[in-house]
Structure 1
Amino acid sequence: MLEGFVPFPADFAARYREQGYWRDQSLADEFAAVFQRFAGRTALVDGERVYTYADIDLLSDNLALNLLDLGLKPLDRVVPTLPNVAEFVLLYFALQKIGAIPIAALVTHRYQEISQFVQLSKARCCVYPAAQGDFRFGPVIERVQNENPSLQLRLVLGQAGPGEHSLTDLIERPAKADRSTLREIEIDPSDPCIFQLSGGTTGIPKLIPRTNNDYAYNSKVAAEVALVDAESVLLLVLPIAHNLPLACPGIQGFMFAGAKVVLHGNTRPSEMFALIQKHRVSHLKVVPALLIRLINDPEIAKFDLSSLRQIQSGGQRMQPEVRARTRELIPTALVQENFGMSEGLLMFVRHDDPDDVQMETCGRPVCADDEVRLIDDDGREVAKGEVGELCCRGPYTLRGYFGVPEYNTRQFTPDGFYRSGDLMRQHPSGNYVVEGRKKDLINRGGEKISAEEVENLILMHPSVQNVACVPMPDAAMGEKMCACVVLNAGQELTLKELVVFLQAREIARFKLPERLEVLSEFPVSTFGKVSKKALGEMVAAKLVSA
């Protein structure tokens, strides 16, 4: 067993096997049957590149063998920061075939995040594009390698430079070993198959181990609730490694059904509309900020979007008005609100829910053995209809973050329920409604930003005496970040100067504050702590009066 991994207790594992949720097959074995069954069907479209299920099987086999030849082995950790391209999918399946564990990093991550992921996981390999916009990955990954002895391999998408291997070449170059070599690799279905990333409140992100057993079930049950079948077509523009696009039901769920996935690298509405029309897309994944852009784009009326059956929205709560307007413009599509976490639990609105329930709630758990408690500050369950913190456990919800036993003691109840930090109440229908969160997070268009992480960096600025980062309302993104600071005597600071300073700390762009408030002192609570609630209310009031 991988050191630092928290397994499911034996009695719960036995129950989940008995109920048929866990099939005790690796993802590699699960998809071996899929690739064979749907061999001639189109699985993946990336621009002009089209791949059948047989193509993906053959190419990922070849890549897997070449990765083995480079020295990767089962349970090795790999950090890919790739955009929405076919190479990510081929790499994902290749890693599953050798039992290596990808870490769900994003192409928007920079030195700060990538370095943390490598340190936390002791990763042996990073995979990255040569550049993303004007940012060049190579020098950054080389720095990370120099600082971390575990990191031995650097794979670049495209032409390799000194010390790098070309991912493109590894996919295309015929492997030395026979494909039968892969069948000799033993993979324990109870081992992690991926590390998703937490949106935790601490400065260092936590790694979420998802096992072969639970991640396969996660995708299958999500696909069932989302009414995915072999004729379904998914357009994927959200970041490919996120839990929702990858597995809820995402790439995995659609491919389990023999369906088609269309990848696209940006969220320009006109390009998305054209792809929906061209490929007769049936399913679309969005965050509310993206859906708002789509329904307000004047080009929407120029395209035939009648193939859309479902628009799956996650990441943050959607206003009923947005759903109602979407229904007017695209009457064939259900806006399926869902609540999900990379840690596990998924709640989906159902297609047969009454209109008011679809409009007001985020759904209910997708599995009968998803256990949900809403608790108060003293750990007692609240009465039905009252607001409490969501705690959960079940056949696809983790039992502990990777390698942080002290943190796990705080985040899990003694009987194994995960304390999510999300505040909810149960709707009379039995569905749930999100009411906020206890966690110190800013939810910017579905990307969760740890306030503490950014605060720690801002405190390094020589002009700053104290800082508190708070969410501020935004019509498009839901929330953006405002940095409230107290400066040292005689110092001045502008937002532009602060952003330049943070950019030099090499963090992802979406974590940069978008407003700065300079105060002489912070409001404090009755316990003497900085009142972020009061700061947030102050900023919101200023925005209204501006």
Structure 2
Amino acid sequence: MTVTLTDLLPAELRRSWVMDGTCPDLDLYSLYRARQIADLHRTAVIDDKGKLCYTALDRKVRCLAEGLRGVGIGAGDVVAVQLPNNRNAVIADLALAALGAVALPFPVGRGAGEAECLLRRAEAVAVIAAIEHRGQNHATDLQALAPALPALRHVIAAGRGTAPDGTIPLAQLLRTDPTGFVPARPDPDSAARILVSSGSEAEPKMVAYSHNALAGGRGNFLASLMPDGTPPRCLFLVPLGSAFGSNGTAVTLARHGGTLVLLDHFTPEAALAAVREHGPTHILGVPTMIRMMLEALEKTDGPLPAPTALVLGGAPLDEATASAAAEAFGCPVVNLYGSADGVNCHTGLGHSVPPTDRSGVVAGRPDPRVADIRIADPDTHERLPDGRIGEIVSRGPMTPLRYVASPDLDARYRTPEGWVRTGDLGFLDGEGVLHVVGRLKDIVIRGGANISPAEVERELVSHPQVRDAVCVGVPDPLMGERLAACLVGKGSEVPTLTELGAYLEEGGLDRHKHPEHLLVLPELPLTAAGKPDRAALRRRIVERGAALVEA
């Protein structure tokens, strides 16, 4: 491996978190093996093929690890994984950890151009990809890229269908005899996984995480939502290949000995069926998915089995959605503020509905066992006192090692002391609770006046006829930019732009912040990671122009 994945945090700081018990100081596969030995027949994965216990999963992991070692993949090699949420994705995660290799997962649905960018910059030596998933042939597409990627030696084709010419069938590697396999024992503070974040950059950001940062820092986040320490049963509505999904194999299984309930493709009907059949303790998704589930739930009968928590992140959570979800699911709704870049804060189990604040999103009280959070001056990086709005910066056990092959991002988003700059604006109140008020970059500038899309979105989703709302800025020759509202309505009646303006004015929102374009959709387009696709919405409005309604 030639890509540099050294740590930008001082080694003594990392070791302090091991010494005080914050991080387990074991690699992910060793943690998993300990869980397997402790409970041989506990269910590890539930997917469309049924149940897989810890021992059966471990045998498949060892088979794959030995098979990968046989084709020359070893410690330190970066191996990309583009698979849907199923047992193969989990097997690949653990097999790469057992080899001491570095996993680079990214969700199915991302195109070949983005995949090529990730593989090239990370110098991936192999990629494990789906033969076919929902009409897309990822293995074929990636095999076609191989000649342009000097580091890429193997494309491994997974799933149903015939493996494309030139690829290695995953099924073949899974038939390898695992008897002689001896797992590697990588340094727990070395790279284990690369998280991908689209962020606001021209190319996706890649962030390297250690075993300790995943199992320790991120593991402590989930531990705070396990009131009695019982191993969790987590229904992941988000892709395991996303940053949010990194709480799957490494955290739910390896750290906590729990069970993963997986859907290879999200639909509200399938998600509700999984809740009824498998009774998850934790449901992890984005607010848009929950709004879709709430709408589908109106067409079904009978209460749902109550989970311990509904954990929502990836996009702002409004009070109306949180209240409806808490009532429908019969459990606390946890608002998660987090990112691939190394920030995590949530509202916890103490509230059925997360507290709200008209100045922004209440993100909860930071947990230093996960990530300590401060507010800093965006220009000088100096710490600001409580109550002052500034840039949210984070440093703690889940802080990543560094950005991958992007020294410019390290220089831009990491301070000399190792704090991660989030690009988010917020403040800490007198009780130490974090409030997120907007983005440094995500500002629409209309005629020299700044508009925060998040502020307008919070008001729009409170409208009784609006189910979902995303606001984006679109170019304008006179004003520079104008604000566009992209809405999904409740039922057949959707408010007009004039009616929305009246509603927002009644709520006290300044007139210059009112949307001037309207796009009404049956559903919001989502990125491969399950978040609203703002870029696609912006393109659609620019292409069609003016005030729009789509049926």
Q: TM-score range by the shorter chain?
A: 0.7 to 0.9
Structure 1 residue 321: Cα displacement? 1.5
After superposition, give the CA deviation of every residue in 1:268-292 in whole Å (9 maximum; x if it has no partner): 2222222211112221112111111
Given the alignment, which residue of 147, 163, 168 partners 1:165?
168
Structure 1 residue 33: Cα displacement? 0.5
1:417 is aligned to 2:441: no
1:479 is aligned to 2:478: no
After superposition, give the CA deviation of every residue in 1:426-478 in whole Å (9 maximum; x if it has no partner): 24442212211113599xxxxxxxxxxxxxxxxxxxxxxxxxxx999585554
- Asked if 2 retains the 8 angstrom alpha-carbon contact of 1:199 and 1:205, the reply is yes
SS of 1:308's equivalent?
coil
| Matched residue, 1:146 | 147
After superposition, give the CA deviation of every residue in 1:308-337 in whole Å (9 maximum; x if it has no partner): 22100001221112111222323x211011
| Matched residue, 1:503 | none
CA distance in structure 1 between the aligned counterparts of 2:24 and 2:279, rounded to whole angstroms = 33
1:84-95 equivalences in 2 (<5 Å)? 84-95=85-96
Structure 1 residues 439 and 301, CA gap change in structure 2 (3 angstroms): same
Residue identity over aligned pairs, in percent, reads 21
Amino acid at match of 1:240: L
After superposition, give the CA deviation of every residue in 1:391-417 in whole Å (9 maximum; x if it has no partner): 111122125212222331221122221
| Matched residue, 2:52 | 51
Structure 1 residues 75 and 50, CA gap change in structure 2 (3 angstroms): same
CA distance in structure 2 between the aligned counterparts of 1:22 and 1:376, rounded to whole angstroms = 30
- Asked if 1 retains the 8 angstrom alpha-carbon contact of 2:3 and 2:122, the reply is no
CA distance in structure 1 between the aligned counterparts of 2:271 and 2:421, rounded to whole angstroms = 37
Amino acid at match of 1:517: V
CA distance in structure 1 between the aligned counterparts of 2:367 and 2:244, rounded to whole angstroms = 14
1:108-147 equivalences in 2 (<5 Å)? 108-147=109-148
Given the alignment, which residue of 340, 346, 349 partners 1:348?
346
1:237-256 equivalences in 2 (<5 Å)? 237-247=237-247, 250-255=248-253, 256=255
Give the number of aligned pairs.
Answer: 471
Structure 1 residue 244: Cα displacement? 1.9
1:390 is aligned to 2:389: no
Amino acid at match of 1:260: T
Structure 1 residues 301 and 308, CA gap change in structure 2 (3 angstroms): farther
- Asked if 2 retains the 8 angstrom alpha-carbon contact of 1:237 and 1:265, the reply is no
Moved more, 321-330 or 414-423: 321-330
CA distance in structure 2 between the aligned counterparts of 1:431 and 1:26, rounded to whole angstroms = 33
- Asked if 2 retains the 8 angstrom alpha-carbon contact of 1:6 and 1:401, the reply is no
Amino acid at match of 2:94: F
- Asked if 2 retains the 8 angstrom alpha-carbon contact of 1:386 and 1:426, the reply is yes
- Asked if 2 retains the 8 angstrom alpha-carbon contact of 1:482 and 1:517, the reply is no
CA distance in structure 2 between the aligned counterparts of 1:133 and 1:271, rounded to whole angstroms = 15
Given the two structures, how large is their TM-score scaled by the length of structure 1?
A: 0.79
After superposition, give the CA deviation of every residue in 1:328-380 in whole Å (9 maximum; x if it has no partner): 323x2110111111122211212225967378622222334733221233334
CA distance in structure 2 between the aligned counterparts of 1:295 and 1:119, rounded to whole angstroms = 41
CA distance in structure 1 between the aligned counterparts of 2:369 and 2:222, rounded to whole angstroms = 15
| Matched residue, 2:378 | 377
Moved more, 312-321 or 259-268: 259-268
- Asked if 2 retains the 8 angstrom alpha-carbon contact of 1:289 and 1:477, the reply is yes
Structure 1 residues 68 and 303, CA gap change in structure 2 (3 angstroms): farther
After superposition, give the CA deviation of every residue in 1:450-507 in whole Å (9 maximum; x if it has no partner): xxxxxxxxxxxxxxxxxxxx99958555436666488xxxxxxxxxxxxxxxxxxxxx
CA distance in structure 1 between the aligned counterparts of 2:363 and 2:259, rounded to whole angstroms = 26
SS of 1:73's equivalent?
coil
Amino acid at match of 1:16: W
Structure 1 residue 109: Cα displacement? 1.0
1:324 is aligned to 2:349: no
SS of 1:515's equivalent?
helix
Moved more, 88-97 or 137-146: 137-146
CA distance in structure 1 between the aligned counterparts of 2:106 and 2:425, rounded to whole angstroms = 27
| Matched residue, 1:10 | 11
SS of 1:479's equivalent?
strand
Q: Where in structure 1 are there 5+ consecutive unaligned residues? A: 443-469, 487-507, 520-537
Structure 1 residues 356 and 401, CA gap change in structure 2 (3 angstroms): closer
CA distance in structure 1 between the aligned counterparts of 2:236 and 2:113, rounded to whole angstroms = 27
CA distance in structure 1 between the aligned counterparts of 2:120 and 2:354, rounded to whole angstroms = 47
- Asked if 2 retains the 8 angstrom alpha-carbon contact of 1:338 and 1:349, the reply is yes
SS of 1:21's equivalent?
coil
CA distance in structure 2 between the aligned counterparts of 1:429 and 1:46, rounded to whole angstroms = 43
1:397-416 equivalences in 2 (<5 Å)? 397-416=399-418
Structure 1 residues 163 and 388, CA gap change in structure 2 (3 angstroms): same
Structure 1 residues 21 and 321, CA gap change in structure 2 (3 angstroms): same
Structure 1 residue 232: Cα displacement? 3.3
